[in-house]
């Protein structure tokens, strides 16, 4: 009986220890194909980061921020993906097309 209790306590400790306290996943700025569908205009920065995880980089000034991710594509054709936030609301997002 004591073994089962200790096993349950140990399992609970391991599971709860893996969760991020702010709900933000650290995927190193990498997005899978369907991930951009999880965000929408008007979301806050925290909501975006909870949906997509931490960005690769962030660029910011006094009232805006841009979150940069990498959208994974087949055959190493990954595309840069950005989320533009002004006054803590998403105003635009999408793949950054390179001008060649």
Looking at the domain assignment, is residue 64 inside a domain?
yes
Looking at the domain assignment, is residue 11 inside a domain?
no
Residue 73, domain extent? 23-95
DSSP state of 58: E
In the chain, the number of structural domains is 1
Looking at the domain assignment, is residue 14 inside a domain?
no
DSSP 22-51: TS----TTEE-TTGGGG--TT--HHHHHHH
Looking at the domain assignment, is residue 18 inside a domain?
no
Phi, psi of 63 (to 5 degrees): -130, 10
pLDDT digits (tens, 9 = 90+) for 19-72: 556 667 777 888 888 899 999 999 999 999 999 999 999 999 999 999 999 998
Q: What's the pLDDT band for 3 if we cut at 50, 70, 90?
A: low
Residue 27 is predicted with a pLDDT of 73
Write down the pTM of the prediction.
0.73
- If residue 92 lies in a helix (H) or strand (E), which one and from where to where? strand 89-95
At 64, which CATH number? Answer: 3.30.1450.10
Q: Are 72 and 52 in contact (CB under 8 A)?
A: no
């Amino acid at each position: 009986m004591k073994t089962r209790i200790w096993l349950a306590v140990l399992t609970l400790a391991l599971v709860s220890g893996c969760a991020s306290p702010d709900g933000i996943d650290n995927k190193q700025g990498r997005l899978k194909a369907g991930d951009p569908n999880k965000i929408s205009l008007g979301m806050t920065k925290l909501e975006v980061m909870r949906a997509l995880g931490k960005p690769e980089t962030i660029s910011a000034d006094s009232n805006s921020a841009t979150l940069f991710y990498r959208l994974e594509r087949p055959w190493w054709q990954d595309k840069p993906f950005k989320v533009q936030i002004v006054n803590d609301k998403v105003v635009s997002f999408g793949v950054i097309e390179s001008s060649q």
